[in-house]
Amino acid sequence: MHGANPLDDPTADPFAIAADAAARIAELTGVERHDVALTLGSGWGRAADLIGETTHTIPATEVPGFSKPALEGHVGTLRSVSLPNGKRALVIGARTHYYEGHGVRRVVHSVRTAAATGATTMILTNGAGGIRETWTPGTPVLISDHINLTADSPLEGATFIDLTDLYSRRLRDLARSIDPSLDEGVYCQFRGPHYETPAEVQMAKAIGGHIVGMSTALEAIAARQAGMEILGMSLITNLAAGIQQTPLSHEEVIEAGRAAESVISALLAKIVAEL
């Protein structure tokens, strides 16, 4: 798709554009319906190869409303994957982050598109900072709940949506049936793209947060609005600022992701096989 993103027209209907995107995916893949969708954040990319057989790889730029990834370490493709259990997965390697400044409609477009393809389960993964000292870099953690610190929402107008059990207890239990050592915690979505100050990390801890990141919460809200069941998982790639004694670096994050990738991707593949 060249030129302007249709989502940048404020009078456009984001759900109509998601329906267009889903129709385009069906046209390019010949797959009428996807059952589950996965957004693979830093460190989780290998899961795309492990969950099943990729039958189609689509550059995100071919699908209405999607844009090129802003960052190294992020992949700009959508994949249709045939799972061993006969289901179909849509793998989203093209996350738009809130900090890119294109607005929340662009951030949640992949989730709305996944729902429009028929997906009823949304798996949201990310790389994130850990507040609990016992979580060394490379630890995967289930997201039990979130605190949205962006002061924004994908919902527009008087759309009141209940967020109790936003991150499905059933799916968390299923994940723990595969790896009983999985811990869980509350994810705080900060706006970014700067990492937190140590004082902000202490604030997050004081208000009940355990994980700090720059994605996922807004996407989860949109997924709930679409009626999907949500599994959230973070890969702790670093301890949050001030919890670890050394400064944070993007290279460190990429490296921790790379080191943990095969282990956590295999874990995620096992979870997907049980859905």
Minimum distance of ligand 8IG from residue 171's CB (angstroms): 22
State the nearest-atom distance from the C-beta of 211 to ligand 8IG, in Å: 9
Residue whose tokens read 């790889």: 57
The single residue listed with the structure tokens 């385009």 is: 24
Would you say 31 or 214 has its CB closer to ligand 8IG? 214
| C-alpha span between 249 and 150 (Å, rounded) | 22
Among 64, 129, 137, 232, binds ligand 8IG (CB under 6 A): 129
**Tokens representing 43?**
């460190």
Give min distance, CB of 121 to ligand 8IG, in A.
24
Strands 121-130 and 36-39: parallel
The one catalytic residue in 32, 72, 196, 274 is: 196
Closer to ligand 8IG by CB, 177 or 197: give it: 197
Residue 60 or 128 having the CB closest to ligand 8IG: 128
Binding window for ligand 8IG (CB under 6 A); candidates: 53-61, 95-103, 192-200, 218-226: 192-200
Which residue in 44, 98, 135, 190 binds ligand 8IG (CB under 6 A)?
190
**What is the distance between the alpha carbons of residues 79 and 137, in angstroms, rounded to a whole number?**
28
Q: How far is CA 161 from the centre of its chain?
A: 20
128 versus 222: smaller Cβ distance to ligand 8IG: 128
Region 40-69 residues binding ligand 8IG, contact defined as CB under 6 A: 42
Using alpha carbons only, give the angle 156, 157, 160 rounded to the nearest 5 degrees: 90
- The reply to whether 196 belongs to the active site is yes
Q: Which is nearer to ligand 8IG, 135 or 195 (CB)?
A: 195
Lookup: tokens for 34:
């996807």
- Per CB under 6 A, does 124 bind ligand 8IG? no
Strand partners, 185: 143
- Tell me the residue nearest to ligand 8IG as measured from the CB: 129
- Site for ligand 8IG, residues 198 to 237, rule: CB under 6 A: 212-214, 237
Q: At its nearest, how many Å lie between ligand 8IG and the CB of residue 93? A: 16
Segment contacting ligand 8IG by CB under 6 A, of 104-112, 158-166, 172-180, 188-196: 188-196
Of the candidates 31, 7, 37, 24, the residue with the CA atom closest to the CA atom of residue 124: 37
Please state the closest distance from residue 198 (CB atom) to ligand 8IG, in A.
Answer: 11
Cα separations in angstroms, 230 against 119, 121, 123, 222, 268: 11, 6, 6, 10, 14
Angle at 69 between CA 66 and CA 72, to 5 degrees: 170
Handedness of CA 259, 265, 270, 275 (dihedral sign): positive
Strands 139-148 and 229-239: antiparallel
**Which residues of this protein are in contact with ligand 8IG, per CB under 6 A?**
42, 127-129, 190, 192, 195-196, 212-214, 237-238, 240, 248, 253
* Residues annotated as part of the active site: 196
